[in-house]
Amino acid sequence: VREIGEFGLIEAIAEALPDAVRCGPALRLGVGDDAAVFDVPVGESLVVTTDAMVDGIHFRTDWIDWRSLGHKLLAVNLSDLAAMGASPVGATVTLALTGSERVADLRELYAGLGELAARHGVAIAGGDVVRSPNAMVLDLAAFGSVDPARMLTRGGARPGDAIVVSGILGASAAGMALLEAEGSAAMTAEALIAAHLRPEPRVALGRMLFEHGVTAAMDLSDGLLGDLPKLLGRSGVSGEIERDRIPVAAAVRALFPARWFDLAIGGGEDYELLMTVPPDQFEALALNAANVGSTLTTIGRIVPGDAGALSIVEADRSRRRIDRGAWDHFG
């Protein structure tokens, strides 16, 4: 940042964005005025989310390249929009910089952000660059639109619904574990590391859930055991999941023979979608999910009971109740 004064920095970095991202169809007014102006489709509501990432806490610049960091900053927010069934529209970015960052790296950050934004029709409409000598903090606010009659909340799960997840769980956590261990460079390891560095927000999947009968949805950022109780709580129901049904990559099982299940249910940062759906609608939903590249797996069911209560059905069919935050005590 020393290379360019604070004035003009955002413009210099923003040049790394693809043109499509600087002037998306909904963007009336972008970088350079007091605020950005967007159009929201008639009849749709505005959906807003924000997620911040702190250097040393949420990422380490010796583990993640700047381009992946930009991708991830936007991906974690688009994942929230996906979980609402919303179409992403735009985003603003706040960079709190220590002053020792290199402009070339910040341009890489924006390039990674811009690539993902272009794929999802998201316009990056400026933001704020501030000085923060003691910590680099990246914050992004993403907004999208959804027909309010078709939006997906966490609150609609009903007893009898299947509990379903997209994709595989634990790959991101396994990737982080490999980075921590400076692990193998095998292809399988690289795929897991990529899952951690460059998660794919399930935007197209999110948009089709409502019409296929999904009753509640959220994205998996804190791990299944952290997130599922929130959905159960908001819906006022209980849930049970089966150990043998949790989708886990073979590579995760092979590389982490002792830890794979903990990584899958507690590791976090999967950015897959967790949803509930009446069982008779699952097959059509899964078929259509496959068309947008997502595999769906039924991992359990909604049952009547205390709001937020979760049980695991073990391989021997024994059940145990999971207390929120208590998973560390299990083997």
Within 8 A by CB and 6+ apart from 236, the residues are 155, 307
Q: Could you say whether residue 39 binds its own copies (CB under 8 A)?
A: yes
Q: Could you say whether residue 210 binds its own copies (CB under 8 A)?
A: no
Within 8 A by CB and 6+ apart from 4, the residues are 12, 103
Stretch that binds its own copies, among 60-68, 123-131, 164-172, 290-298 (CB under 8 A): 123-131
Q: Could you say whether residue 8 binds its own copies (CB under 8 A)?
A: no
Residue whose CB is less far from its own copies, 145 or 172: 145
Sheet holding 296-303, edge to edge: 216-219, 273-277, 162-166, 296-303, 238-242, 310-313, 319-322
Residue whose CB is less far from its own copies, 81 or 165: 81
**Is-contact 157 300, C-beta < 8 A?**
no
Q: Could you say whether residue 219 binds its own copies (CB under 8 A)?
A: yes
Q: How many residues bind its own copies (CB under 8 A)?
A: 63
- Taking phi first (over 0 means left), then psi (-120 to 50 degrees means alpha), and beta for anything else, what does residue 223 get? left
Residues 93-112 close enough to bind its own copies by CB under 8 A? 93-94, 96
Q: Could you say whether residue 49 binds its own copies (CB under 8 A)?
A: yes
Residue whose CB is less far from its own copies, 46 or 104: 46
Out of 23, 37, 284, 290, the only residue in the binding site for its own copies (CB under 8 A) is 37
**Residue 88: strand pairing partners:** 144
Stretch that binds its own copies, among 16-24, 34-42, 180-188, 311-319 (CB under 8 A): 34-42
- Using alpha carbons only, give the angle 29, 30, 35 rounded to the nearest 5 degrees: 80
Q: Could you say whether residue 29 binds its own copies (CB under 8 A)?
A: yes
**Is-contact 281 164, C-beta < 8 A?**
no
Q: Could you say whether residue 235 binds its own copies (CB under 8 A)?
A: no
Residues making up the chain, counted from first to last: 331
What is the distance between the alpha carbons of residues 245 and 228, in angstroms, rounded to a whole number? 15
Residues that bind its own copies (CB under 8 A): 5, 7, 28-29, 32-40, 42, 45-54, 56-58, 80-81, 83-84, 86, 89-90, 92-94, 96, 125, 127-128, 130-135, 137, 139, 141, 143-144, 146, 148, 151, 153-155, 217-219, 234, 325
